[in-house]
Chains A and B, each alone.
Chain A
């Protein structure tokens, strides 16, 4: 780890610690993992963007049905191609880390679920979300009837203002009461 650590200056290391929920070791590990994804020629250049499919090949992400969404949400790329710089990568890790606050987590969760990036979870977002969870195969996919009922139930529970969509605050309200989230 000594060699990789040297490429990450002490100053930026401490800044990253300040800005994320990660510990020093975690940042260094993240750096190591990140540089492993880089091509030989790009080594050491932290501004290189790693394309989405490469990020998605990480074992931690590859089975995640939301991997594309995750990359897109955390990417700062102007082309919206979901490619990540090291800092984006750290943002991602920080949001998913243990010590990240509920606010952060729910915020990003909301954005991940917001497939069309319009700031609310509408019916089509929810449908996509459910399809992501269930998979697209015939036997697992919900029938249109089931889907309709599920979505209307979700909206019934969470859509406080009854505008037909779930907005961020409603989402956070729901999710903050979840036992999975409370830990």
Chain B
């Protein structure tokens, strides 16, 4: 089968145009590309044929629509030539018609254009200034995005540090330099004479002594003066606030990054249901250009895949659990021991060095550097030890890597803490070091944070030579998985603790620093509040900080946290439930389809040609479809913003697939509905605009769908594209199509929604069994919102509405069916006399056949004979329905009345909805349909046949479809008999 998109076969290319050209320019430009992305240009040339109306509102809408196209065009997977053409056309239209609008609008758009150009320019400039962008791209092109993501992460850290530096510089260093007491004036700003000689030595500078020690870099340099300079800058206050702000900023930025990550990953990383797919589909890093990197990447992929296979095989046989567990426990004990050991060693060494410092005036080189040597030795050796231990555990490599990372981090933290605690002990005697520690801590936090590279070096996976590539994959997983960020956050928190502790617990240095002379560092705040703010403010502050307020506030916070968490939990629960439900219903539906098909084909014998009966297929198939749609709607809203159209499509196929025989029937229904639609388009030559109603109907059919789906301007065209996409025609689309004409007809007298709904539900209500209830569920479910606002709604419809539970349905249906029969029995009778097809069948059945006919099969030549008999079977007040069906019948024979009218009403109503922007995903899914259409080509051709037959009023039906029609009629007949028994 030729690949349609590339081949651009002329015969097929023409086809959609027949339909499309009847829908007006908008749909035209919108859909042609989707159906066939490489068709000839003539379809686009007609773009502006319809837009010559002078209604400014309409024109404006159209322009808006065109702009929408321009804005979204880059998100479509078309070749450039096509995009260019569409863009040019859309622009032309905008240009051409914009002038006709009011001047202000012209100015507005001109301004918007200018703004757009400026923003693009700005973007181009900004890209230039992103540091190392080009370099990272270069690295990326050589070694793949894994490596690049590491550098991007480093750049991000660098960015944070820049911000922190700017904050400190602007609010502390700069004011101090400008307005503080000059260098050399006070004790803390003068280098002592005995040190002056060596103050410039590299050695001194290197160990942050000499001139550096008497500069703004050091805490002691700042004075205790409350206000400095003529402007009265409160330096000590600023010092404190900036210190806090640095923490706050680090936290916020980290949390935001995490939130963004988790939003992107959609909480999906947790379920690893796609291991194999990812390993194959997402394995290759398309940015790798370096042959060596490519080779190692390839090797890593092979390993990865093999590993997955082996894992899968091992899943089946269970290794002795007891051994594994005891091994893991042992491993953890070992790790804990080594952690404790390293912490103790550090503490011991620090302690010893202090003692030595006090006892000995002159220290040896070893004694001087003992602490740092020991610390770095530990950080070097311990990770490898952990890794050895990890081999005992026999975890999955990724899990073990996480364990490894966590352990290394704990180790680093332990070292840090033991160091700090040991120093704090020392600090009790000499208090000024604490504040130094405080200010250094900030830098310590991020720069000394266990560097990913060191972590990498320490982790050598078992894949020997593929180390790099493997680690890089891991890196990617880590960056997107929030695991690493969570570690970072934890680290940040732990680093903040000693600082806070020092602030709260210790008295600041009395001799130097901005807080000298205060009891506690944070006193600066209360002091400022009481001295520099009005009395009422300080009073308020005392109230606020009193336990009376603080305790309830804390309680409230806890409650809030609890509440939010419980909500999150219940949402998770609901998610799971929905997923389960989806799975079970999918399997059940599949079973049903299978049974249905099996049942049908066992009853093929009796041959009564009943054209109207084929119609039954559509609603049934639709019924199968609908719950799925519903689910998929929920699901796509809930889990995925990326694939809104996915489940729908895929599920559609699912119903075709399980039973091969079922397909043939579906095919019929499709052609039937298509023909139905076709009737519309034939008529369209006379009253083309009437067809523009279609989209509206489509919209109403699915009001609760995510917007992409709404975006399609035309139901018919959409269904078309669906046909391409799924190998078999998705019946739900045909459903929407076939009910459309009804809707259109009704529109004149009834509120559109009501009309359509009423008819559909009526029809479905009469149908038998389980299929029926599905449909009703969906009709009501999907329309609920619209219905609420609709005024005249028959009561019994409402009764069904609230019931969203499927189990309730049979009851409703049954109750409802007899009801209608009671109301209008004579109508049926009179009606049935006109029936050629059903001889001995009861009212019920005929009515059913009738309806079916009215719904879909009206296009069949023989159905013309029914034309003059308006079926009168609806409940009293709904006279419009009769009209509807009447009209519907006539339409195929090109009745020239009515619809023209309708069009003018409806059009204005529909317009705004037509403008609904088509989102990327939608366009993508639509456009992509062209990829898949070739497999459905035969159906396609059938449709053509139907259409042509219709157009020329001759029975040039394809052989296959004819045959299918026949069989289906037979089936139908038997089914209707069934119905008789069960329903009456």
Contact = CB atoms under 8 A, between A and B. Distances in A.
A177 B280 contact: no
Given A64-B288, A87-B84, A104-B924, A149 B640 contact: no
Contacts of A63: 288-291, 293-295
A20 interface: yes
Interface string A92-113: 0011100001111001111101
Interface in B60-108: 70, 73-77, 79-81, 83-84, 87
B920 interface: yes
Contacts of B302: 133-135, 140, 142
Interface string A146-183: 10011001101110111100011111111111111111
Given A80-B6, A169-B925, A174 B281 contact: yes
A65 interface: yes
DSSP class of A's interface residues: helix, strand, loop or mixed? helix
B273 A157 contact: yes
Contact of A25 (B6, B70, B124, B266): B124
B386 to A, nearest CB: 25
A168 B931 contact: yes
Nearest to A72: B6
Interface stretch (B498-506, B642-650, B976-984): B642-650
A52 to B, nearest CB: 15
Contacts of A149: 309, 312-313
Given A107-B928, A154-B277, A172-B642, A179 B477 contact: yes
Contact of B281 (A21, A87, A111, A113): A113
B84 A172 contact: no
B139 interface: no
B821 to A, nearest CB: 39
B470 to A, nearest CB: 14
Nearest to B38: A76
A125 to B, nearest CB: 11
Given A19-B73, A126-B280, A103 B642 contact: yes
Contacts of A168: 649, 725, 925, 928, 931-932
B651 A161 contact: yes
Interface string A101-140: 1111001111101100111100000100110011100001
B336 interface: no
A165 to B, nearest CB: 9
Contacts of A108: 77
B723 to A, nearest CB: 13
B282 interface: yes
B123 interface: yes
Interface string B609-638: 000000000000000000000000000000
A140 B287 CA distance: 22
A119 B933 contact: yes
A88 interface: yes
Contact of B282 (A25, A59, A175): A175
Contacts of B642: 102-103, 172, 176
A95 B287 CA distance: 12
A39 interface: no
DSSP class of B's interface residues: helix, strand, loop or mixed? helix
A90 interface: yes
Contacts of A16: 80
B388 interface: no
A183 B264 contact: yes
A107 B289 CA distance: 22
A182 B482 CA distance: 12
Contacts of B269: 177, 179
Interface in B274-303: 274-278, 280-284, 286-291, 293-295, 298-299, 301-302
A23 interface: yes
Nearest to B273: A157
Contacts of B266: 177, 182
Contacts of A23: 123-124, 127
A66 B298 CA distance: 12
B80 A19 contact: yes
A91 B80 contact: yes
Interface in A8-66: 15-21, 23-25, 59-66
A161 to B, nearest CB: 3
B649 A88 contact: no
B650 A161 contact: yes
A173 to B, nearest CB: 4
Given A64-B288, A169-B645, A134 B75 contact: no
Contacts of A158: 274, 277
Find the residue from A19, A126, A169, A176 having the highest chain B CB count within 10 A: A169
Given A175-B282, A177-B268, A157 B643 contact: no
B538 interface: no
Nearest to B77: A107
Contact of B70 (A18, A90, A118, A160): A18
Contact of B932 (A120, A146, A182): A120
Contact of B657 (A19, A163, A183): A163
A60 B933 CA distance: 33
Contacts of B649: 167-169
Contacts of A172: 642-643, 646
A173 B646 contact: yes
A179 B282 CA distance: 9
B379 interface: no
Nearest to B283: A133
B400 interface: no
Contact of A134 (B149, B305, B927, B931): B305
Given A91-B80, A118-B935, A161 B653 contact: yes
Contacts of B80: 16, 19-20, 76, 87-88, 90-91
Given A76-B79, A134-B301, A60 B141 contact: yes
A173 B582 CA distance: 15
Contacts of B312: 149, 153
B299 A177 contact: no
Nearest to A12: B84
A77 to B, nearest CB: 9
A179 B141 contact: no
B652 to A, nearest CB: 8
Given A23-B124, A162-B657, A87 B81 contact: yes
Nearest to B152: A183
Interface string B647-688: 111110111011000000000000000000000000000000
B653 A163 contact: yes
A94 to B, nearest CB: 7
Given A64-B286, A103-B924, A118 B654 contact: no
A161 B931 CA distance: 18
Given A63-B294, A102-B642, A182-B264, A133 B284 contact: yes
A66 B651 CA distance: 30
Interface of B: 1, 3, 6, 38, 70, 73-77, 79-81, 83-84, 87, 120, 123-124, 127-128, 141, 149, 264-266, 268-269, 273-278, 280-284, 286-291, 293-295, 298-299, 301-302, 305-306, 308-309, 312-313, 476-477, 480-481, 590, 640, 642-643, 645-651, 653-655, 657-658, 725-726, 920-921, 924-925, 927-928, 931-935
Q: Enumerate the 4 nearest inter-chain pairs by beta-carbon distance, A residue then B residue, closest first.
A: A161-B654, A119-B932, A63-B294, A87-B80
Given A150-B308, A175-B282, A176-B640, 4 more contacts: A119-B935, A157-B275, A174-B278, A179-B477
Interface of A: 15-21, 23-25, 59-66, 74, 76, 80, 87-88, 90-91, 94-96, 101-104, 107-111, 113-114, 117-120, 126, 129-130, 133-135, 140, 142, 146, 149-150, 153-154, 156-158, 160-163, 167-183
28 contacts: A15-B84, A15-B87, A17-B120, A24-B124, A64-B286, A64-B288, A66-B284, A66-B286, A74-B79, A103-B920, A107-B77, A107-B927, A118-B934, A119-B3, A134-B302, A149-B309, A149-B313, A150-B280, A153-B312, A157-B273, A161-B655, A169-B649, A173-B650, A175-B281, A178-B281, A178-B282, A180-B282, A183-B480
